[in-house]
Amino acid sequence: MNLKKIWNQFFDNYMKSTVEKIEDVEFSEDETKRYSIMFVGLVQGVGFRYETWMIAQKLGLTGFVQNLPDGSVYAEIQGSENKILYLIECLQSIPRIQIEKMRMDEMELKEESHFEIA
């Protein structure tokens, strides 16, 4: 096994263990919303998209997350508002991620069934 594969496997296991530590929270019923969110800061090269994808899946959210050429990350996230806010809270609590600015705009809902890394 080459060094890159070993590193990728270690990083994958590390992030999975981070997400597993996220508390299972009881969420009250909330209105379904969709937000476009721009994250600026140390959000590329630190597993941000993968972490977002894993947390979104755990929470049952839909949408996507993608890197932008300027170093920021763009996401569209749909689900109950309290779960979306919890996802953001989880991301902000990860030490290797540094969200310096964030812009959140409500959008129209879309028909979709999963969350993906674009």
Residues with a known catalytic role: 49, 67
Of 57, 49, 47, give the one whose Cα is nearest residue 15: 47
Sequence letter at residue 83: K
The C-alpha atoms of residue 38 and residue 101 are separated, in whole angstroms, by: 8
CB 43 within 8 A of CB 51: no
Of 25, 28, 15, 9, give the one whose Cα is nearest residue 117: 15
CB 65 within 8 A of CB 49: yes
φ/ψ (deg, to 5) at 69: -60, -25
